[in-house]
Amino acid sequence: MIPRVLTSPTPDTDIIVIGSGIAGLVAALRCRAHGRVLLITKALLDAGSTRWAQGGIAAALDPADTPAEHRADTLTAGVGLCDESAVETLVTEGPGAVRRLIALGAAFDTTPAGALALTREGGHHRHRIAHAGGDATGAEISRALLEALKDSGVEVVEHALVLDLLLDARGRAAGVTLRLMADAPAPVAVRARAVVLATGGLGQVFQATTNPEVSTGDGVALALRAGAEAADLEFVQFHPTVLWLGPDARGRQPLISEAVRGEGAHLVDHDGARFMTGRHELGELAPRDIVAKGIMTRMRETGTSHMLLDARHFGAAMWERRFPTILAACRFHGIDPVTEPIPVVPAAHYASGGVRTDLDGRTSVPGLFACGEVACTGVHGANRLASNSLLEGLVFAERIAAALGDHLPEPGPPVPTRPPRLLPATARATIQATMTAHVGVLRNADGLNTAEQTLADLAPRPHGRVAGDAGSPRAAVEVPVAPAGGAEEGAAGDVAAWEATNLHTVATAIVAAARRRAETRGSHWRDDYPDADDAWRGHLVVRRAGDGLTADFEGHASIRDEETR
């Protein structure tokens, strides 16, 4: 039996889940107990980011480990911006959630004695990373969840791009509009009592990324258009060790898992010197932002295009047993890590920020929930700790399902809305080139101002730009995005145009936040403000404001002082 895959959705359901990574699949499976569930995915069910996850899933599963130690490592990596209640939720509920995943059928690697074979990654002081198939953890998790989906009764629509949120007269989520990619030229409306965003990341906003082609920030863009808040978008994590394929590499790049360094691989420059030694107590296993900065700094110092990851001492047997996927990818591209160092460079990997939620996944729009990479639960702060991403998707998807079981109100009828005026599909290349050149690992005011202007020129506003003091936490800045257009214009646009428009919205939001944050913290590195500043120990919250976006600073006392709806 296979999941019930529909060629077109029914006109109404109880709960819509958008996305088929670990967060979306777990949310759909757990929500099924509360009513009808429609799972919508942009490509095939297994085409999201989860299947590409190599390293593993972090949790205090070793008897010698504790949630408190996992919490401490997570807070350190987040550089003062983690929400401590969210981190506490993650690390205390994480072990049980992983065990439930195992009970569902996920087969993690074990030791000869039958215990979980745990490894270590950057930022962790313990061996707490559970992995599967050596370096194919995401593929195994995806397989197990899709197997469980077969008998669940969850309805599935593949190859469908969700366009916008339907809202009732009170501003409550009432469903979605979507575009079936196969042959339907007009959007389809599906009503629901709750909508769960699990759309994954936004890595395609850059020219080179570890994310799949479908990761175009659709969930964040949809949420902003619907009036939801997004937070911490300036903190885009660049994975330190991505296989360098040359200066013209574009799209999804092969990842060299952090677990390779966890097993003892060394970062070296072209003279063979280990340049991370002395930069951090953990050396090559420092948090990812520190390693990425170390690589970029050494590249600048030596005038080279990449650094090297040396794991020749592993030997062929260990490479074939522990990292078969990475070994095959390297050899496909003409590199044999058994006999030569691997050329590596940082590339866009993970969005630590996203649609702001409470501890049960509720956003600022009633009836709209978010989990996984699209969400900002507060767990990651300024820099995600390695292998916390799969755990976050798992834990908070379960919490959303529990919350929906307690309360699933009926929204009113949807009210008419205007879709955005779509950018041409060709704008995608300009957006990606702009973000790569000016909003990558290294940032400064001149580059960010150039990026803001270039993006504004792609979507000019009739009322001009509203500037603000980019160096002050208290100054509001409004920047333009693609304005609303007529219904016919939005309905007729093709998928590539919608993706370009979503990328533009997300890029504009990232630049607005990055331009405001006048400090270096976590994965946000400003050449012109090289130090962390306590005045910026808080969150930049992006909201829709007319035809633009505002990035407003909120102090770090709490982002949940008032219960969200």
Write out the catalytic residue numbers.
Answer: 288
Among 110, 115, 98, 113, smallest CA distance to 134 is for 110
Q: Are 171 and 227 in contact (CB under 8 A)?
A: yes
**Rounded to an integer, what distance in angstroms lies between the CA atom of residue 206 and that of residue 239?**
13
Cα dihedral 319, 95, 73, 557 sign: positive
In whole angstroms, what separates CA 41 from the centre of its chain?
Answer: 16
Among 403, 350, 421, smallest CA distance to 381 is for 350
For residue 243, give the amino acid letter: L
Among 214, 420, 253, smallest CA distance to 345 is for 253
Taking CA atoms, 88 is separated from 248, 348, 359, 392, in Å, by 42, 27, 10, 12
Among 490, 482, 487, 488, smallest CA distance to 462 is for 482
**Rounded to an integer, what distance in angstroms lies between the CA atom of residue 357 and that of residue 373?**
12
Give, rounded to a whole angstrom, the gap between the first and last alpha carbons of the chain.
39
For the chain, how many residues are written?
A: 565
Among 180, 235, 282, 207, smallest CA distance to 521 is for 235
**Rounded to an integer, what distance in angstroms lies between the CA atom of residue 522 and that of residue 107?**
33
Pull the structure tokens for residue 431: 């957006």
**Rounded to an integer, what distance in angstroms lies between the CA atom of residue 518 and that of residue 531?**
9
φ, ψ for residue 154, nearest 5 deg: -70, 130
Element (H, E) at 228: none
Q: Are 106 and 97 in contact (CB under 8 A)?
A: no
What lies within 8 Å, CB to CB, of 133 at 6+ separation is 109, 139, 140, 324, 325
Alpha-carbon Rg for the chain in angstroms: 22
Pull the structure tokens for residue 385: 């700790």
**Rounded to an integer, what distance in angstroms lies between the CA atom of residue 393 and that of residue 371?**
6
φ, ψ for residue 105, nearest 5 deg: 130, 0
Pull the structure tokens for residue 176: 């979605």
Q: Are 146 and 385 in contact (CB under 8 A)?
A: no
Pull the structure tokens for residue 3: 């999941």
**Rounded to an integer, what distance in angstroms lies between the CA atom of residue 393 and that of residue 395?**
6
The Cβ-side half-sphere exposure at 518, using a 13 Å CA radius, reads 12
